[in-house]
């Protein structure tokens, strides 16, 4: 009989963590100071106050995007799990703020510790989770090995792998492979992601395709339309270097009296955005400065948090940012769920499956550059019926996959038990 394997991360990973410890702890302390949150520093180092519930079903959603995607799954799990026995962890201050705003009051929240062995052991000893559910791409060798040693079932939900992960240096891919050995189930969002996990070394019998949970998350999006004095086209979640290209396209578009509304992915880039727009300042209004839209205003920069859905709801059509520049694109499903005509550029690698699906069902329009964007915007703005049809097709694509979160909840329950 072969000796039983004791899950331990590879020595090279432990050495790397030791070398990076000063940097990681320093950055964590800086974040805590910036956020004025001693709790963030304490919990990221694995020190927790008395827990509200023991033996919880534990779900980890690292950042704002993962937590938003997880919300319909959390709702579905609450139908199957006693409410006090559900713990959600995140890794960033912004995701903690979202958790405080969006999680049901009966769901506990904590920060997941950094992947140091001692911090992870303190976390698991404190909460004693009965099952671990990890959203998307988090592969932490110490965490996964510690769960295996404690016989805590572990599954990855909405599993996806970026090209950067798949093409990482060989020694790092080997560490990912070692971590995947300790995963009981990998529930992938697409066949391509399933193939990626298999290429990384996952056990084939443990990988299955459920679908993209963000279809369910998008259906939860609703908002009153932003009240602006003129009709507008929205550029949603724009990235560095994109705003100047968008303005070039907008100036070449026959848009009548419409506004171009820009909602940047990172509102703190406001100064950079203003420098990049070759317009007189009087033709730009900034939302955070409470500047009025006048007859002169050509561009409205909505550099605020939490209002994207409202601007999507009121837009005639939506350009999805991060796609005219090589940033991989942003989420196309929220405007699709709200029934908007969608246009995006050539760089949609981060949402390739969703983009292909919308294009295949005539629910979106893709352009290759800023000049093509101007042509597309002009054509769509002059054909409102075409815009409406694109939006209706996009919404139908999302509606037809509304049960994705429920199917994930059923698969999680099968692994974790009732």
Active site residues: 66
Q: Are 343 and 337 in contact (CB under 8 A)?
A: no
CB atoms under 10 Å from CB of 178, counted, come to 19
């Amino acid at each position: 009989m072969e000796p039983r394997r004791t899950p331990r991360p590879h020595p090279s990973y432990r050495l790397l963590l030791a070398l990076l410890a000063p940097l990681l702890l320093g950055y964590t302390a800086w974040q805590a100071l910036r956020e004025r949150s001693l709790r963030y520093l304490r919990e990221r180092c694995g020190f927790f106050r008395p827990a509200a519930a023991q033996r919880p079903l534990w779900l980890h959603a690292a950042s704002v995007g993962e937590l938003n995607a997880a919300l319909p799954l959390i709702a579905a799990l609450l139908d199957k799990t006693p409410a006090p026995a559900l713990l959600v962890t995140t890794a960033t201050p912004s995701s903690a703020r979202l958790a405080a705003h969006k999680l049901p009051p009966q769901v506990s929240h904590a920060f997941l510790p950094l992947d140091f062995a001692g911090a992870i052991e303190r976390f698991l000893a404190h909460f004693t989770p009965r099952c671990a559910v990890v959203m998307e791409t988090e592969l932490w060798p110490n965490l996964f090995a510690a769960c295996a040693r404690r016989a805590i079932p572990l599954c990855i939900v909405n599993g996806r792998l970026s090209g950067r992960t798949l093409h990482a240096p060989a020694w790092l891919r080997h560490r990912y492979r070692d971590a995947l050995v300790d995963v009981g189930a990998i529930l992938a969002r697409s066949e391509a992601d399933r193939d990626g996990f298999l290429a990384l070394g996952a056990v084939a019998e443990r990988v299955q395709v459920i679908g993209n949970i963000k279809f369910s998350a998008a259906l939860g999006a609703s908002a009153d339309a932003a009240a602006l004095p003129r009709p507008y086209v929205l550029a949603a979640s724009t990235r560095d270097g994109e705003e100047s290209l968008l303005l070039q396209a907008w100036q070449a578009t026959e848009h009548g009296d419409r506004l171009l509304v820009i909602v940047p992915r990172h509102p703190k880039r406001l100064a950079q955005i203003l420098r990049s727009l070759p317009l007189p300042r009087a033709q730009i209004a900034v939302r955070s400065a409470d500047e009025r839209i006048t007859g002169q205003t050509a561009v409205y920069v909505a550099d605020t948090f939490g209002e994207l859905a409202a601007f999507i709801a009121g837009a005639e059509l939506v350009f999805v940012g991060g796609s005219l520049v090589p940033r991989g694109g942003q989420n196309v499903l929220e405007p699709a769920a709200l029934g908007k005509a969608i246009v995006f550029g050539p760089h949609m690698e981060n949402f390739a499956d969703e983009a292909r699906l919308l294009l295949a069902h005539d629910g979106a329009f893709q352009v290759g550059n800023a000049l093509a964007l101007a042509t597309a915007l002009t054509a769509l703005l002059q054909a409102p019926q075409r815009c409406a049809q694109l939006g209706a097709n996009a919404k139908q694509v999302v509606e037809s996959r509304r049960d994705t979160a429920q199917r994930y909840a059923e698969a999680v329950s099968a692994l974790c038990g009732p």
